Structures are given as C-alpha cells and as structure tokens.
Amino acid sequence: MSAGVRLRVVSYNIHGQRDDTAALASVVRSAAPDVVIVQEGARRFGWRQRNAALAESFGLVVAAGGLPSLGNVLLTSLRVRVLGTSCRRFPLTPGRHLRGAALADCAVGGARFVLAGSHLSTDPAERPAQAAAFKQDLAGAAWPVVAGADLNEGPDGPAWRTLADGLTDAALEMDRADRLTYSCAEPRRRIDALFVDPSIRVVDYDVVDTPETRRASDHFPILADLLLPVAG
C-alpha cells in the first residue's frame, strides 16, 4: 500500500435529531470516525450549545458550521487539527429553505486536507446553482478535498454531475453505488455522496444499514476509510 495518512469519515444527514438520539450517538461512536460531516445540524436558537452537545455525544468537537452554514456542521476528533474555517449561504429563493455549506482547513499526521459539507435544496430548479457555488469553493481549496453532501438527487442529476466533475465518487470507486442512502423506512435512492480529490485513495466505503441506523435518522450514514497524501 502506498504511503499516506488514514482518515475515517462519516457523512450523515441526522434529520435534525428528531429521531432516536441515543441510537444516533451509538452509531457514530461505533464507527470511531476522525471526522463527521453533518447535514441538518442545529441552525436556530441555541445552535452553538446544541451542536456542542451533539459533538460531545459522538466523542468529537465542533470544527465549523451551524447557523452560519445553515445546519451543515463539521465535527472532528482531537487527532485532527483545524487550521481555518469558512461558511457559505446560497442565494435565497423566496419561500424556500435557506441552504449553505461549511469548510475547514485541516491537518492530520503529515497530511493536509479541506473538509467540506453541504445540503442542497429539494427544489430541482435551485440545486444546479447551489451545486455550482459549492463547487467553486471546492475548486478553490488549497489542499485535497473531502466533501460530503445530501444532494437531494441521484447521480443522474445535474447538481450531482457538477460536484462529481474532477473528483472521485467514493461509492463508485469501491463499486458500491448500489448502496442506497434514503430513506431508512423505504430505501430507494442514493442521494447522499462523498467526493474526494483524486490524490486521495478510497480504501473502503459503505452505507451503514443496521436496526440502529434505521432508528437514528431518516438517512443512512456513509462510512469511508481514506488514505490522504502526505503534504509536500
């Protein structure tokens, strides 16, 4: 195996913690991730305290996100150093839910990477512009990107294609694109994705479907093991 730094990633739409929160915490702790890319984290009153409590329940800390990124939250273990963060809000369409993205410049071992997360609109007319804005952030990253997102569309959609362009779809890389992510009650679609820079090796990928994950949220979590290139 080529030299590199291991990173375990979970990307997870947690449904606003409206389901079994004990199961949610157990699912993430059992995965023992280095980073968690959260969609539908706290974004309203008390969001700092609520996201801090979520991170603590996972055994992690908050790196970025919350209200500034409209519910996208990046969590890390103490193994990962966070060197800088940024948040984006996508342009508002009247009458629609606000959407955004969170990014963090991170270091682990001898590797540098940019962790990013987003949650695109349920409206197909809005998603392409949101994907283009998020893609602009990813394209401007100074280090290899690890990006998780709930795209609210499948791989045949224009927003998905925009984000996947030039990046590795971790599911395809591991020949596991048949693993469906939504919904837990009736799995029928792959609308959650993990994209990584081509310099990052995908060692393993799966969608965790267990009785516990079916209680924890309406989405299944993505779990991936990556090998990051050592920074030159």
pLDDT tens per residue across span 159-195: 999 999 999 999 999 999 999 999 999 999 999 999 9
The pLDDT, as a whole number, for residue 23 is 98
Cα dihedral value 223, 207, 88, 55, nearest 10: -50
The pLDDT, as a whole number, for residue 1 is 42
Domain positions in the chain are 5-228
Per the CB < 8 A criterion, the answer to whether 162 and 202 are in contact is no
The pLDDT, as a whole number, for residue 142 is 95
CATH 3.40.640.10 is held by the domain 5-228? no
Give 96's pLDDT tier (boundaries 50, 70, 90): low
Question: Per-residue pLDDT for 102 more than 70?
Answer: yes
The pLDDT, as a whole number, for residue 3 is 79
pLDDT tens, position by position, 57-69: 999 999 999 999 9
Question: Per-residue pLDDT for 197 more than 80?
Answer: yes
The pLDDT, as a whole number, for residue 2 is 54
What 8-state DSSP symbol labels residue 96?
Answer: S
Q: Give bridge partners of residue 204 from the DSSP assignment.
A: 225
pLDDT tens, position by position, 75-90: 999 999 999 999 999 9
Residues 109-132, mean pLDDT to the nearest whole number: 95
The pLDDT, as a whole number, for residue 231 is 80
The pLDDT, as a whole number, for residue 94 is 60
Per the CB < 8 A criterion, the answer to whether 12 and 221 are in contact is yes
